[in-house]
Amino acid sequence: MAGLWVGEAALVTAGRRGRRWPQPLSRGAALWTLKHVPRYSRQHLVVSRSLCSAGYDSNEKTFDKILVANRGEIACRVIKTCKKMGIKTVAIHSDVDASSVHVKMADEAVCVGPAPTSKSYLNMDAIMEAIKKTGAQAVHPGYGFLSENKEFAKCLAAEDVIFIGPDTHAIQAMGDKIESKLLAKNAKVNTIPGFDGVVKDADEAVRIAREIGYPVMIKASAGGGGKGMRIAWDDEETRDGFRFSSQEAASSFGDDRLLIEKFIDNPRHIEVQVLGDKHGNALWLNERECSIQRRNQKVVEEAPSLFLDSETRRAMGEQAVALARAVNYSSAGTVEFLVDSKKNFYFLEMNTRLQDPYKSFGLPSIGRLSQYQEPIHLPGVRVDSGIQPGSDISIYYDPMISKLITYGSDRREALKRMEDALDNYVIRGVTHNIALLREVIINSRFVKGDINTKFLSDVYPDGFKGHQLTETERNQLLAIASSLFVASQLRAHHFQESENSRVPIVKPQVANWELSVKLHDEVYTVVASNSGPTFSVEVDESKLNVTSTWNLASPLLSVNVDGTPRMIQCLSREAGGNMSIQFLGTVYKMRILTKLAAELNKFMLEKAAEDTSSILRSPMPGVVVAVSVKPGDLVAEGQEICVIEAMKMQNSMTAGKTGKVKSVHCKAGDTVGEGDLLVELE
């Protein structure tokens, strides 16, 4: 597919200061979570390939060594491309990233500081020292971190080191949302109404918001990836939004300047990729729809958009090119637009690199990947990641595990391949958003293309709770789980017999296994019997035949239920009957007991549930940014108690009831884990 080419031919040649160093074309591959390439899109990409790759001569001089000023999957992709071109690479890393995949892949690696990004991946002095130490001739910044920092680009230029990306003028113009909006207006690009200056403080933010009219969007001038962005519907939310956005912006980008503009309710988020060269040429490569978002961060991306007609697509592309030419853009970049229901579109921002941030809908998770297996054995599947089994997902960085891409001859095929890829993806040790992604792509609204940036909150107003089983699916799950239970019991007896145990073994003379299966809060009676690899299961007055190899050591188990193929994952099986199965993307916890064990279990006492209204526990691992109360304070229900920062996003923790503070168990700067006690109320 031509879409994969962009990342593989990331460097072409151009001159600078009389030296024949190559000039970068792209900062990474054109990737999205869900992609299908129809005929018109494939043709456009093929044409752009011939235009852009014509300038590369394999006999012409390339860099000898490039320093990659990033981490994770983007660093890995850059290093892979450099290896293909015979270019040596230098990885930088924080102390906690010393064993990361990108560090192992590079020819050299330099530690640039401790875990916090401000002291490592944003530490320009340490990175410049690493460049001098290793003799790197160029720096590839990836996306995020210093990729849009004009001061970093200036520092490199002063040392005669090539910055792989646009020049400092374009970074200044497009990396600053305030300046880019003014430039867009001058280039006759449609823009959102709003305040074009820098907001000084919370009081001015309220005044400006009132003038524009609620709702408004408060966002970091130097930001991106959803960080430093808040929607405000009234004065109080504007003050809170100003505080959180400025703090997040300072933490993520080292720049706390904010702007305010009118919030367009229920829009679509569609972006256009552009390419420019040093000779004044610029072109656009069609669009990606990024409307499925969580907290302004993209969850699913699709190309092309079902919503756009050819006229609107062309108009958006032409305006994107006009903006690129207005700043003499000479690299790969992304121009983002908001599109309303009438296909009116407005410039949002231009990113001076290719992007595709990917976040989960829910709280971020940290931990160590105890097991990890990508579904790259399936056709039409690509996975870009920077992790491996044993890798740590830490609180300091983006919690992204990978970018999963599927493509096909049409949309239906791409969707089916995504569904299969998600079912075949093995991730153990951390929680993930596979269940959400799978539900999104099979949702009737998504399938019809009826989406906007509020899709997740509209479809899941009470939060995402996993796949809701139909009666048929529920019976399939009960039958599969019961078959697994019996298969494991039979295997255990077979193992004991083969070991010639001194303990007398009672052979199970059981034709039918009568089981009690608890799923959610319901208990079902199930009867299972087997004949070779096939189990006959009676559940809820239905009889199902379940066939599999029953390889209980495999992380993936292919099961056939009455002719319907299912891919499941048995995540855990305990001696007490508890079992967790990933089925249709969602993890279901069940308890399976024999009829006798179920009768005896009635006499077991259950642990009393904790009264959560009087205590506040951290819902995620992170760092305490601020604590707003002390023992003896009276607090109202919903009042802010403290602020937790996790993965560079700040989260306000509030009181669950009105009461007096009994004790405070944390202070600003503390690192807390999921479930740690923060505050107690009387």
Q: Which residues are catalytic?
A: 349
| Number of residues written out for the chain | 682
Cα(550)–Cα(533) distance, rounded to whole angstroms? 7
Cα(453)–Cα(291) distance, rounded to whole angstroms? 5
Report the b/e string of 501-533 with b at 16+ CB within 10 A: eeeeeeeeeeeebebbbbbeeeebebebebeee
Cα(576)–Cα(581) distance, rounded to whole angstroms? 16
332 close to 6: Cβ distance less than 8 angstroms: yes
Considering Cα of 247, then 252, then 256, then 262, what sign does the dihedral take?
Answer: negative
Cα(577)–Cα(592) distance, rounded to whole angstroms? 5
223 close to 157: Cβ distance less than 8 angstroms: no
List alpha helices for 426-559, DSSP H: 434-442, 444-448, 455-459, 471-498
The position carrying tokens 């000479």 is 330
Cis amide bond preceding 379, omega within 30: no
Query: Residue 533 carries which side chain, given as an amino acid letter?
Result: P
Distances (CA, A) of 183 to 25, 253, 324: 23, 22, 10
What is the distance between the terminal CA atoms of the chain, rounded to a whole angstrom?
A: 62
Cα(513)–Cα(485) distance, rounded to whole angstroms? 10
Which residues have a Cβ under 8 Å from the Cβ of 331 and sit 6 or more positions away? 24, 25, 26, 27, 165, 166, 170, 275, 276, 352, 353
Cα(574)–Cα(555) distance, rounded to whole angstroms? 16
Q: Tell me how many degrees the CA angle 638-680-634 measures, rounded to the nearest 5.
A: 55
Distances (CA, A) of 85 to 2, 11, 59, 260, 420: 19, 9, 11, 44, 34
Residue 318 parent element (H or E): helix 310-326
Question: In this structure, what DSSP letter does residue 340 have?
Answer: -
Cα(445)–Cα(19) distance, rounded to whole angstroms? 54
The closest of 412, 405, 409, 398 to 374, measured between CA atoms, is: 405
List alpha helices for 285-309, DSSP H: none
